[in-house]
Amino acid sequence: MATDVVPRRGVPADRAQLVQWMQEYGVYLGVTVLLLFNVAFTDHFLSTENFRTQAVQVAPVLIVALGMALVIGTEGVDLSVGSVMALSTSLLSLYLGYGPLAALLVALVGGAAVGLANGALVAFVGVQPIVATLALMVGVRGLALVLLPQLEDVHDPTMATLGSGDLVGIPYVVLIAVALALLVAFAVRRTTFGRQLLAVGDSRPAAQLAGLPVRRVLIVVYVCSGVLAAVAGFLATARLSASDPTSLGNLMELSAITAVVVGGTSLSGGRVRIGGTVAGAALIQLLNATLIKHNLSPSWTQIAQAAVIVVAVYAARERGRR
């Protein structure tokens, strides 16, 4: 790191430094500001129950965002995640007769298959990620609806426990999300795959010439994204105690991308910030909760979300110019 001139933390001096500081820590600042605002102005905000609710609601978004962060780290994007959640819930409902574990496995295989298709299109056929995953987004949602045309209730007790139960006060859903976040963070930091992913995202030609298995990395990344989305679909189903492929995961890709980008992962690849992604997801959740709790008109919720995305994209643009 810096040897003679150490940039001062906390008090950014000039504009460039300010921008950089905002990119690194802006999301944490945003979360803090929202928390303080709510503590001051929202009734019954400082309660365990409330934080539990927020954590439970953010868990599926976070899990999808983890996969999205990996994909974005390779300079890609996965628009099919919401549809994969729908596919996952359809498959769960269809196979729940064999027990929840078997159904989960089928759902995960489904997610992996979609990821494989995405990855193959991107890595072998050379389709732009946005186009490839858009195609899958449309197709997979259709497939999910063919498999399960309408909402189906889930009565399985294991699923119910998973959806609403907890371990020493922490809901299972949240525990799973935290475990997955740690796992992904570990994979990015400590594994060969993580390093290769960053290299592929930063400079694909260089990675190729360095003999990296570029295609394999890309495929694995999309498979991870698909599997994580399937897990999110599984947990959302458990929480809802119903399979609803028509609405489950709608606009999930946007929430996930926002979480990742707000969290400081550059859209131009080469960087994956898991901590930032967690904070980004929390930021969106808190923003939504704040607007709902203060009973602002739904149009304002949409406008506020749009504003956050604009700010995030602006920050990403600044990042790209460096």
Contact set for other proteins, span 246-305 (CB under 8 A): 246-248, 270-271, 289, 292-293, 295, 297-299
4 makes contact with other proteins (CB under 8 A): yes
Q: Select from 35, 164, 254, 313 the one that contacts other proteins (CB under 8 A).
A: 164
Per CB under 8 A, contacts with other proteins among 86-145 are 91, 93-98, 106, 109-110, 113, 116-117, 120-121, 124-126, 139, 143, 145
Among 130, 153, 161, 182, binds other proteins (CB under 8 A): 153
Instruction: Please choose, from the candidates 99, 70, 95, 120, the residue with its C-alpha nearest in 3D space to the C-alpha of residue 227.
Output: 70
Q: Could you give the CA distance from residue 271 to residue 268 in angstroms, rounded to a whole number?
A: 8
Q: Does 22 bind other proteins (CB under 8 A)?
A: no
Sequence-ordered list of residues with C-beta below 8 angstroms from that of 174, at least 6 positions apart, any chain: 52, 55, 56, 59
Q: Is the dihedral of CA 198, 204, 208, 213 positive or negative?
A: positive
At its nearest, how many Å lie between other proteins and the CB of residue 161?
Answer: 12
Q: Which tokens go with 195?
A: 């390093």
The verdict on 29 binding other proteins (CB under 8 A) reads no
Cβ contact 188:181 at 8 Å: no
Torsion angle of the four alpha carbons 273, 278, 284, 287, in this order, in degrees rounded to the nearest 10: -120
Nearest-approach distance from CB 106 to other proteins, in angstroms: 8
| Position among 203, 254, 311, 313 found at the interface with other proteins (CB under 8 A) | 203
Determine the size of the site formed for other proteins (CB under 8 A): 87
Q: How far apart are CA 68 and CA 213, in angstroms?
A: 20
Give me the least distance between CB of 126 and other proteins, in Å please.
5
